Structure formats: C-alpha cells, structure tokens
Amino acid sequence: MLSFFKKNNSEASKENAGAPAAEAPKLSWTERLKAGLARTRAQLGGGLAGLFSRGKIDDELLEDLESTLLMADCGVEATQWLLTELQAKVKREKLETPAQLQQALMDLLTQLLMPLEQPLDVSTHTPFVVMIAGVNGAGKTTSIGKLAKHFQGQGHKVLLAAGDTFRAAAREQLMTWGERNNVTVIAQESGDPAAVVFDAISAARARGIDVVLADTAGRLPTQLHLMEEIAKVRRVIQKADPSGPHEVILVLDANIGQNAIAQVKAFDKAVGVSGLVLTKLDGTAKGGVLAAIARQCPKPVRFIGVGEGIDDLQPFKVKEFVDALFDQ
C-alpha cells in the first residue's frame, strides 16, 4: 500500500511541475485479470493445451491431467472430483476433440466454483460492520484500503478502524489512505484493539456511516493465544452491536497455495469466517487453490486481487475467472 502512495505522490508532483500527461491506456478489469492469472494459466492452461492437442483420451492423458491440476494447487479432492466428472462427461456425451474436452473441463470448473460467487451486500445493516483478519503479509491492510475505495464507489460512507495496534505501519497505512481519500480513521497510538473497534462503531453511529472496516492484527493460526485476541475483538463488536459483525473476512495470499485451507479452518474456528479475499493472484501459479477451497472449506470468495493498483481488487465472478484461466 505504501508503494501505491509513493507512486501517486510522484505522479502528482509531475503534474504539478507541468510534465506531459501522457498516460498508458488503462486496461479493463478483464484484461488485468487475464494478465494477473498469467502464471496460473501457464501452469494450468498451458499444460492442458498440450494434453488436449493429443486428440486421444486415454489413461495416460488422464494421469497427466491429474498432475497438471495438482501442480496448479487444485488439491487432491478437487482434482479427483474434476477427473471423475470429466470421465463421466466424456463417456456420456461422447466427446472426442481437444476443444470439446477443454470446454468440458471449463464447465466443470465453473460448476465447482459457482457456490463461491456470492457478492457482499452491505445494505442489510447500518452501520455494516466488517471485521477483517489474516496473517501478516497476506495484504490485509492494503485490501482494506481497496475495499474502502470500492464501497465509496458504490455511494457508501466508509469508516476505518485501525485495530492492528501491534504494527505501527498498519495504522500509518490506514491513516494515510484515510487522509488521501477523505475517509475517517479511528486509531490509537497503542492499546486494546477491541477498544479501538468499539469506539469506531460508536463513531459510525454518530456520524451516519454505512460501512465500518475493522482491521485486526496479523495472526498465525498456530498462535492460539493471539487467535484468542481476535476472538475478543469479535465479542466486543457484538457488545457494540448485537447483530455484528455482519461480515468476517479472511484475507488470503494466493502464494501459499494449499496452506490456505488450514488458515481458513483455523480462523473460521476462532472468529467464524463468512467471506474470503484472495490477494496476489498475479504473483503465483497456484490460482487453482480456489478449487481446493470449494471442495474442502467452501466459503464465499467476496473479492480477488491481481495487482497493486487501487482498482485491482474486484468482486469474484466465476465465469470471468475461468475464462481468464483458459484465455477465452
């Protein structure tokens, strides 16, 4: 997030100095998604292209297909499901050509992922309190800034709670983002994260805020005593608003692949995860982890991120994702 601010400060100073405003054409979300999934596509789609070009569906092809799916981090359960369903589809529909086989796999992957596509509706409560958790380095604080921008774009008034009181940089990032975009940030120099979030909800009520995004300190699932602290934040939110939190988002770094499953299960046990944000898909070949999540710990994937830009975090749409994987 800090790099984002530095970039924009630099651009602003150029404009103030009268520099030519020659900017590269802004790519559409579809184009950015395809570019962001390039590594996973090379791992998955590239490998599949070679398999499908053989034109013969046999045991060897299926074994190679299994290896390709596993290397893209689809996971054993999802891979077995896809292979079993694909074999049945080939037999039932008498598929023969590479194009038919690829389309069949795309259809099955879409079917597998579709339950994860559940857009976040923040209109059900006012203020709508979103608690955001994740391990350090997952892109949690940066995602909060991007989510705030997204909800602002929908016409909502947003307030940020700097509940990560253990990492000064997290608080500074939120404060900087708030200043640049006229978003109120409730923060303390130090102290109890739960108290910060409680104050934020109270302030949101007083100011007619629509959405409260509450940051929490990064935690590893194995740090049980620290996981209990974010469980405390949840309890305090419920004291401030018995109906809240209305969403508990876990931010996952796509680079961790199968380790995401353990994180989802651990955080779900501690705070009751209701949605996921998957970041850094542009830096990994493990985008298939979404298939693993769908089979092993299905949670709505609210947003996916494919870059550092403020608009590079967008609502998850299965068809867009699958098409981008196969470069449709």
The pLDDT tens digits of the residues spanning 266-288 come to 999 999 999 999 999 988 878 88
- Minimal CA–CA distance to 142: which of 2, 31, 8? 2
Region for residue 244 given its phi and psi (left: phi exceeds 0; alpha: psi -120 to 50; beta: otherwise): beta
- Minimal CA–CA distance to 245: which of 223, 215, 217? 215
Report the alpha-carbon distance of residue 203 to residue 199 in Å, rounded.
Answer: 6
Report the alpha-carbon distance of residue 156 to residue 147 in Å, rounded.
Answer: 11
Axis-axis angle for helices 98-113, 289-296 (nearest 10): 50
Q: Is 128 helix (H, G, I), strand (E, B) or coil?
A: strand
pLDDT tens digits, 138-189: 888 889 989 999 999 999 999 999 988 777 677 888 888 788 778 999 988 7
- Minimal CA–CA distance to 237: which of 266, 200, 182? 200
Whether the CB-CB separation of 159 and 200 falls below 8 Å is answered with: yes
Q: Indicate the pTM of the whole model.
A: 0.87
Q: Report CA-CA distances (Å) from 11 to 6, 7, 36, 172, 310.
A: 9, 6, 23, 21, 15
Q: Is 53 helix (H, G, I), strand (E, B) or coil?
A: coil
List alpha helices for the chain, DSSP H.
Answer: 2-16, 29-36, 38-43, 45-52, 59-71, 76-93, 98-113, 140-153, 168-181, 193-207, 224-240, 259-271, 289-296, 318-325
Joined together, the tokens standing for residue 184 give 């109120």
Joined together, the tokens standing for residue 156 give 């909502």
**Burial category of 27 from C-beta neighbours within 10 Å (exposed 0-12, middle 13-18, buried 19 and up):** middle
The residue ranges of the chain whose pLDDT is under 70 are: 1-25, 44-56, 168, 190, 328
pLDDT attached to residue 17 = 40
Residue 2's contacts (CB-CB under 8 Å, 6 or more residues apart) are: 169, 173, 176
